[in-house]
Chains A and B, each alone.
Chain A
């Protein structure tokens, strides 16, 4: 299994809603990442977990709350988002062999629209 599975594929939410994005991988990877990608832009790093611990937070607003319940799962909890948070949210995983950032496997993303 060489897939990173993200659910849901599409999400529309209001500014007062609470929702969660889910990401799952069964490749035994011990690094997992959240990226945000706006239309026609490259992915921007949000969070990195290594060995289930948060190792990098790229100064992301607290309305985004990541969680790594175990080595296969990564969640992103959303609360009180703004319309400008609308984007494609990508999850990725990688083995920590020679370090982070080696061979990232990306999921298909969740296309989020905030109304």
Chain B
């Protein structure tokens, strides 16, 4: 059973297009993190959202935490080839452990 479901699992788009990746759960999380991982490297933390309804921006990336703290989204504006990678959401329930979604593999074609 996957606690955090990401969609889509794979996405291939052209440079300059916009996209949204979703991370959904039936459980409430105290915080949600988004990571990007490139081949042969470890995940790199992009952002942490902790408050329901919170929106954070990182250049062309916009992250939102759902009001009920059960879901999150990542929107990329004007995607560039450098955005290519595996995007992972990860949630913390109470003080238990960090649970990863299965990831969204994003390819931006020049």
Contact = CB atoms under 8 A, between A and B. Distances in A.
Interface of A: 4, 40-45, 48, 56, 90, 92, 99-109, 111
B97 to A, nearest CB: 6
A56 B44 CA distance: 22
B42 A103 contact: no
Interface in B64-110: 88, 92, 95, 97-98, 100-103, 105
Contact of B92 (A40, A90, A101, A109): A101
16 contacts: A40-B105, A41-B102, A42-B101, A42-B103, A56-B97, A90-B42, A92-B42, A100-B95, A101-B92, A101-B97, A101-B98, A102-B31, A106-B44, A107-B42, A108-B41, A108-B42
Contact of B98 (A40, A41, A45, A107): A45
B24 interface: no
Contact of B97 (A40, A45, A107, A111): A45
A4 B48 CA distance: 20
Interface residues on B, range: 20 to 34
Q: Is the interface of A mostly helix, strand, loop or mixed?
A: loop
A106 B43 contact: yes
Contacts of B97: 45, 48, 56, 100-101
A104 B102 contact: no
User: Which 10 pairs, one residue from A and one from B, show the smallest C-beta to C-beta distance?
Assistant: A106-B42, A42-B100, A101-B98, A101-B92, A90-B42, A106-B43, A108-B41, A109-B42, A107-B42, A108-B42
B100 to A, nearest CB: 4
B12 to A, nearest CB: 15
A44 B42 CA distance: 13
A4 B45 CA distance: 13
Contacts of B103: 41-42
A84 B52 CA distance: 40
B24 to A, nearest CB: 15
A107 B37 CA distance: 11
